[in-house]
Amino acid sequence: MHPVDTLQLRFNPDQMFILNIAMAFLMFSVALDVRVADFKQVVRFPKSIGVGLLAQYLVFPLLTLAIIALFKPPVSVGMGMVLVSMCPSGNMTNFLTHYAKANVALSVTLNAIIILSATVITPAGFLFWSKYIPESEVLRQSFNLKFSEMAMIIIQLIVAPLLAGMWLNEQKPEFVARIRPWAQRLSLLIFFSILALALLGNRDNIGNFLGYVFVLVAVHNGIGLANGYTLGRLFKLPESDCRTLTFESGIHNTALGLILIFKFFGGLGGMALIAAWWGIWDLVTGMGLASWWRKRPA
């Protein structure tokens, strides 16, 4: 067994409480951009929505298993990669799509669908795909993983705040218009604070493995971004939709991943390192790509 498979990152109950509150607020701030009418946009982009869901929930997990087979990382690292692949789109995708001058309406609609479906897809997908990680059976069986418990956490931290934000947006649009910019800036600050808590509190352990994790995350994230764009091109979608799917398939809510790791996997080091570094790296690549495309409108 690799040393990283026995490494456990430390997070006390007070820090977990802060993480949970921060995650709920993140999703509430995302929902301030979402309206019930956005779901009706599916009729405008049925093909693009279908390709986006295909990229997110089938192709990316398969590509993740291919990367694991090629690089042969420690089992806990492979489990972290699979969990990240099943986490919903990150809260930054709408902003990145807008900044890149891509299809914002498609991004909002697809992002909302993916977030709401995460209640079922994230735990079910992880429990299914993780079985195909080589030599993972012993490690997986050492944790008491229940679909219902994972789904309930996602409902509490993702779905409920999202629905609350959508309700407020429908009922008090003027008020939401005033608080939206500040709420979203604060949510970004909170997002990076979550990552800082996870990384700084365990910096000694992280230093020993970060170089290895850096390479894996760079490859994994790069393939995630390319996955959405390539599938869009294969299905002959408009260029703006292809760019939108790039962000939706390559930016993931790894803050949720971290919470699940600390809640159900005891802060298992390999998983936590992957999720924490993903949360930083995909914003770097996302902003870089958005800036590139902003100068080259579709």
Please give the mean pLDDT across all residues of the chain.
84
Confidence (pLDDT) at 195 = 63
Name the residue ranges covered by the structural domains of the chain.
Answer: 10-294
Confidence (pLDDT) at 298 = 76
Predicted confidence (pLDDT) per residue in 50-80, tens digit: 999 999 999 999 999 999 999 999 898 999 9
Which listed CATH number (1.10.150.130, 1.20.1530.20, 1.25.50.20, 3.20.20.70) goes with 10-294? 1.20.1530.20
Q: Cα 185 vs. chain centroid, distance in angstroms?
A: 19
- Say how far apart CA 166 and CA 179 lie, in whole Å: 14
DSSP string, the chain: --GGGT-B----HHHHHHHHHHHHHHHHHHHTT--GGGGGGGGTSHHHHHHHHHIIIIIHHHHHHHHHHHH---HHHHHHHHHHHHSPBPTTHHHHHHHTTS-HHHHHHHHHHHHHHHHHHHHHHHHHHGGGSTT-HHHHHTS---HHHHHHHHIIIIIHHHHHHHHHHHH-HHHHHHHHHHHHHHHHHHHHHHHHHHHHTTHHHHHHHHHHHHHHHHHHHHHHHHHHHHHHHHTT--HHHHHHHHHHHH-B-HHHHHHHHHHHSTTBHHHHHHHHHHHHHHHHHHHHHHHHHHTS--
Predicted confidence (pLDDT) per residue in 152-185, tens digit: 888 888 888 888 888 988 888 888 888 877 886 7
The pTM for the full model equals 0.86
Given a contact cutoff of 8 angstroms between Cβ atoms, the answer to whether 262 and 255 are in contact is no
Q: Cα 67 vs. chain centroid, distance in angstroms?
A: 18
Flag residues of the chain having pLDDT under 70: 1-16, 38, 91, 144, 184, 191-192, 194-195, 197-209
